[in-house]
Amino acid sequence: MYEYESIMTFDQPMMMGYDPSGSTSYSTSSSSGQQVKKRKSIKSETSIDLRGPMEVDGSVKSMASIRLDGDFAVRDRVEAYGDVALNGTLNCSSKMKSMGNVKINGNATFGDKVKIFGKLKINGSLEVDGDVEVWGALTVNGWLKCRSLTAYASLTTVDGSWYEAGSETVHGAKLVKRSGYVG
């Protein structure tokens, strides 16, 4: 067995992160002074709720939803068969796949493609070195940068938001939502 093959598995919803006793044995600190938790791959048959800062040496996979609060670094992929919610920062060296909706409140970067079968709502930034494919509605309230963008429903940019894609295919409506517009 390779060093990174060990996978944490859970049979019920799990929450990792804050330890009320304050006893952590991790030596790395984040810029906010909090201890950075280090994990190998995280896999669950139910929802995952993680609190950062955390470094995951493998992947994060849930047969339900994933919620990430804080700062995260993931070496491999993020995969959920439900929704994904990010409140903070996520740096993922690989790709993401979600069968549900994805909501990014903060900043996310991916080294490979992002495929979302639900809706994608960006309140912050999403930077992908590969392709972004969204089957539901895509809303950008901030910015999105990728190699290619495919949106099968609508693409909405809010106020001064923008996106940059080497190539784009939008099968639905392209909308610009302006706040304060009196018409």
Query: Cα–Cα distances in Å, from 131 out to 79, 113, 144, 146, 176?
Result: 16, 5, 11, 6, 22
* Residue-wise pLDDT tens digits, 106-156: 999 999 999 999 999 999 999 999 999 999 999 999 999 999 999 999 999
Is residue 92 one of the residues assigned to a domain? Answer: yes
Record the pTM: 0.80
Task: Say what the pLDDT of residue 36 is.
Answer: 87
**Banded pLDDT at 15 (limits 50, 70, 90):** very low
Q: What is the pLDDT of residues 134-144, one digit of tens each?
A: 999 999 999 99
Residue 18 lies in a domain: no
Residue 150 in any domain: the answer is: yes
> For residue 37, what pLDDT is reported?
92
Q: Would residue 135 count as lying in a domain?
A: yes
In this structure, the dihedral spanned by the alpha carbons of residues 29, 41, 148 and 129, taken in order and rounded to 10 degrees, is 40
> Is 57 contained in some domain?
yes
- Residue range 44-90, pLDDT digits in tens: 999 999 999 999 999 999 999 999 999 999 999 999 999 999 999 99
Residue 20 lies in a domain: no
Asked, for residue 111, whether it belongs to a domain, the answer is: yes
- Give the separation between CA 20 and CA 87, rounded to whole angstroms: 21
Q: Which domain holds residue 61?
A: 34-177
pLDDT tens digits, one per residue of 163-176: 999 999 999 999 98
Instruction: Say how many domains are in the chain.
Output: 1
Residue 5 counted as domain residue = no
pLDDT of residue 32: 53
